[in-house]
Amino acid sequence: MDPSYQKHFAVADYVIFAVLLAASMGIGLYHALSGGRQRTTQEFLMADRSMRCLPVSLSLIATFQSAVAIIGVPAEIYTHGTQYWFIGCAYILGLFIPAHVFIPVLYRLRLSSTYQYLEMRFSKAVRICGTLTFIFQTVIYMGLCVYTPAFALNAVTGFELWGAVLATGLVCTLYTTMGGLKAVIWTDVFQTVVMFAGQLAVIVVGVQQTGGVSEVWRKVREGNRISALDLNPDPTERHTFWTLGVGGIFLMLSLYGVNQAQVQRYLSARTEKEAVRSCYMVFPSLQLALALSCVMGLVMFARYCGEDPSDKLGTSSKDAMVIYFVMDMLQGLPGLPGLFIACLFSAALSTISSAFNSLATVTMEDLIKPHFPTMTEARATLLSKALAMSYGLLCLAMAYITHLMGDSVLQVALKIFGMVGGPILGLFCLGMFFPWANSTGALAGLGAGLALAFWVGVGSIVTRSSSTRPLPPCRAVLLSDNTTTAIHTALLNVTLSQPSGLKRFYSLSYMWYSAFNCFTVILIGLIISFLTGPMKEEDLTPGTVYPLLGKLLCFLPEHLKKKLCCVTPLGHTLSAQQRPSQNKESNGLVFPREDRTSQEETDTFFPEAHTPLVEHETTV
């Protein structure tokens, strides 16, 4: 890149960035020295199951809102218009279903790792396969999260790329291992606030410099960036209402329903009601986050309308352009570039810390502890530190792979969520909603789901068949109306020629990946289960099946329902056995605090659910 386009930091910028890192470390240190001083795994991994809904909800949105979204969404809006904004419609069911289906089942089983569910419902083998799939997904995603802000910063300021990658990884490992989940959640709260502040600052300054709200509006209208609701049913069309609003629901379910990082937060809430409420509170904050990044894309378009600076930048990457736009605009306003960089790194840190903590949890709980039940505390602590370290290194390696992929970062993230998260979602749905599914079916289903996912996913990368058609730049500046229309029609004709055969299969919109892969797992899982002998009700662990059919077919007579969905409703089984006093009062939906302390009682039913694992001493 032409060095004259490189932007520079003032002292104030460095100070703000340093304050962010110091505050994050401080929160980690505080939780390392206060409370139970992180000496039990209940505290280290579960935050003593004592959190309130506000910090939990802010932490929930921080987990999957990384620098990828902060940079990727404006770049998407800048290039393709506001169609992506319709993903906000998917947030409704995408949060309502986790709150009322997944949280009740998982919370009441008193898990530490979501994958314990798979063992209770199916078998140890399914649990291990589920865990390995999750680790795979998280490690790749983490690479992308570490790499994105470092790459962006490097492209525009010349800041050392791998230095930034290392600094992010290091700071994050430190506060995560010092302060446990409490530190992770409270740094998330602080970092979410910084994230919103940074985005807001960019928008305010951007609107001001472009000449006010009405001017921005005029330019984005003329540039055709305000998209109408696209109801095209073609599943290969990248972003339409159906792919975003319906396919997006499954994406949300895989992230907010069954992903370990999120479930761990639900489980850290002091009551089930609090967990459900925190899931509800995600909705407005997630809409706000989406709106801020979409508006930022529009402001950026209005500002560069017609004069795309990407040639000068020496890269066609629209992601790098977002950073260029921000730095270009904030130049000369001391502190603001620093605030935006703090915003980027806040977003990244809050995601990576969640990933570290959840990876440490599942690796200890699902892979190591079951094989070494007699491991000493000191050994276990040492081992978990070594684990954190190796995951850190692995994620640096992954950062390098992302570096080679060269797609837009938002698309890479959404593809990973769909390709690996979709089959995991399918596995949980198979277990929760289909009482007949057995362990063999689950394994076959997961295998088939992953195979198909990678076939489509890798196929689309290799053949480059995702239909991306950037909108032309601002017509008011470039061309007269007639020419633009002509070009537009020509463009449409070229891209509307349908691909055929396998190529069409490969060009399935990545927004459908989650739904498609989830259904593959369920379908294959059910077929194999019926072939190998379906599960019987008496063999099911109580509380692992959600009586979906029973609820959907509530109009059928009682005896028919019993026959069809051979399962006692959720509330009954668990409450009747474990908490007789709760039965009438809350229909098993809410467990007050006092009730939750009756550990021994639970453990007789689910000895696995409460394995006391590594006692993490104050680490570091």
Nearest to 199 by CA among 289, 87, 72, 317: 289
In eight-state DSSP terms, residue 239 is S
CA distance linking residue 19 with residue 256, whole number of Å: 31
Q: Hey, which residues between 383 and 422 contact ligand PAU (CB under 6 A)?
A: 410, 413
Question: What minimum distance in Å lies between the beta carbon of 520 and ligand PAU?
Answer: 22
* Selected binder of ligand PAU within 41, 42, 57, 66 (CB under 6 A): 66
* Selected binder of ligand PAU within 24, 42, 65, 402 (CB under 6 A): 65
Binding track, positions 232-271, relative to ligand PAU; x by CB under 6 A:
-----------------------x----------------
Alpha helices in 257-371 (DSSP H): 260-268, 272-304, 310-313, 318-330, 336-362
Say whether residue 305 binds ligand PAU (CB under 6 A). no
Say whether residue 262 binds Na ion (CB under 5 A). no
Q: Among Na ion, ligand PAU, none, what does residue 350 contact (CB within 5–8 Å per kind)? A: Na ion
Q: Which is nearer to Na ion, 188 or 274 (CB)?
A: 188
Question: What minimum distance in Å lies between the beta carbon of 23 and Na ion?
Answer: 16
* Selected binder of Na ion within 351, 408, 520, 618 (CB under 5 A): 351
Residues forming beta bridges with residue 269, ordered by sequence position: 51
Cβ atoms of residues 249 and 417 within 8 Å: no
Our measurement of the distance from residue 278's CA atom to the centroid of its chain's CA atoms, rounded to an integer in Å, reads: 16
Cβ atoms of residues 573 and 543 within 8 Å: yes
Number of residues near ligand PAU (by CB under 6 A):
12
CA distances from 231 to 83, 240, 241, 470, 491 (A): 11, 6, 6, 19, 20
Q: Among ligand PAU, Na ion, none, what does residue 64 contact (CB within 5–8 Å per kind)? A: ligand PAU
Type of residue at 47: A
The DSSP line for 546-604 is --HHHHHTTTS-HHHHHHHT----HHHHHHHHH-TTHHHHHTTS---HHHHT-HHHHHH
* Selected binder of ligand PAU within 69, 164, 302, 549 (CB under 6 A): 69
* Selected binder of ligand PAU within 183, 286, 396, 566 (CB under 6 A): 286
Handedness of CA 603, 604, 606, 611 (dihedral sign): positive
Q: Which is nearer to ligand PAU, 262 or 578 (CB)?
A: 262
Cβ atoms of residues 277 and 95 within 8 Å: no
CA distance linking residue 525 with residue 449, whole number of Å: 9
> Tokens in use for 169?
């990884």
Q: Which is nearer to ligand PAU, 51 or 413 (CB)?
A: 413
Q: Hey, which residues between 331 and 370 contact ligand PAU (CB under 6 A)?
A: 351
* Selected binder of Na ion within 40, 66, 154, 484 (CB under 5 A): 66
Residue burial 524-533, b: 16+ Cβ < 10 Å; e: rest: bbbebbeeee
Q: Which is nearer to ligand PAU, 205 or 288 (CB)?
A: 288
Q: Which is nearer to Na ion, 118 or 347 (CB)?
A: 347
Q: Hey, which residues between 102 and 161 contact ligand PAU (CB under 6 A)?
A: 145
Q: Which is nearer to ligand PAU, 68 or 164 (CB)?
A: 68
* Selected binder of ligand PAU within 9, 17, 64, 512 (CB under 6 A): 64
Q: Among Na ion, ligand PAU, none, what does residue 69 contact (CB within 5–8 Å per kind)? A: ligand PAU
CA distances from 75 to 81, 106, 326 (A): 10, 37, 12
Q: Which is nearer to Na ion, 65 or 408 (CB)?
A: 65
Binding site for Na ion (CB under 5 A): 62, 65-66, 347, 350-351
Residues that bind ligand PAU (CB under 6 A): 64-66, 68-69, 87, 145, 255, 286, 351, 410, 413
